[in-house]
Amino acid sequence: MNELAGIPVSADTSSRDWPVTNCYIDAWLLILRSWGLEPAAGLGVTLTQDYEGDQFTFFKFLHEDLERLYGLLVGELSIYSSVEQQTQEQTRLGRLVLLEVDGYYLPDTRATSYRSQHTKTTIGVDSIDPTAGRLTYFHNVGYYELTGEDYAGAFHKLPQQQPADDVLPPYVEFVKRRWAPLQGRELTDAAVALLRRHLRRRPDGNPISAYRADFARHMDWLMAHPDLFHEYAFGVFRQLGANWQLLGEHLQWLQARQVAELSPVIEAAATMSATAKAMQFKVARIASRRRFDPCDASFDTLEQTWQATMQRLDRCFA
């Protein structure tokens, strides 16, 4: 487990269906935990996930939720100079910088993209020294250091790369710890209020049914492009399953604070997460064998569980 200032920043992910969710949420989970805050309080936003026609929503903490619960202000950093220099200025002011980089140069991604695949990912930078070529950052499930050739590659300084001036600057955000975070009953009440708001913002129809209607068409495409299975699975099954995994953690946090008896919906969230993971393996077989399977049992479970969960949450929180 990585530690920062004596505070564990990595959760135990060994029992999770999805140890890694998406880069933005994972970075925030680590950042909030390192600041001694409760990440689970802000995860009611997972209720708003929809099927977007080609993927499930790439879910994120909302900036207004981060402000209300934790007193944080998030702004976009306009890049007009060197990304390194502007990141250094923000961290000098005590701010954290959320920076898009190429996962090809991140050693913590050895099992996926490191030195094998160019992929966009977001890291949370809390210190940088351009002269020494070093930065420290939050990413996926830990807190790491970037140095040497990896640092140079991340900032387009290697001889074989285009100079940084010749490429579009990355999307960058900065985080200011502006007000005191809510605590105790105030934090719980605010989290419940946000859950009610996000429950009202959920999709008008069942997103699993919408995906099911497109599934055969998706599989025709995937069987023609089996080399893109991992990218497809990330946008569909990991986003769906990880979203519900984190919704379950949010509901467990609320139940522990005696908001309501939520065991049935916590179990339902676990079912959604596990079923999405199992369906991912089925679709991997479809792609490799090029033989269609409608996955009816999986779809039946996902559809019915989504509908029943929303109905029960309506009764608890409407």
The pLDDT of residue 2 is 46
Instruction: Give the global pTM.
Output: 0.92
β partners of residue 99: 123, 172
74-92 in b/e form (b: 16+ CB < 10 A) is: beebebeeebbebbbebbe
The pLDDT of residue 11 is 53
The pLDDT of residue 15 is 80
The pLDDT of residue 295 is 98
Instruction: Name which of 296, 305, 297, 113 is nearest 206 in CA terms.
Output: 305
pLDDT digits (tens, 9 = 90+) for 108-117: 999 888 998 8
pLDDT digits (tens, 9 = 90+) for 213-227: 999 999 999 999 999
Question: Which residue stretches of 2-98 are H helix?
Answer: 23-34, 63-70, 83-92
3-class SS of residue 146 = strand
Give kind and range of the element (H or E) at residue 129: strand 120-129
The pLDDT of residue 8 is 45
Residues 6+ apart with CB under 8 A from 59: 22, 25, 45, 46, 48, 49, 239, 243, 246
Kindly report the length of the chain: 318
pLDDT < 70 positions in the chain: 1-14
Domain boundaries, the chain: 3-36+72-177, 184-317
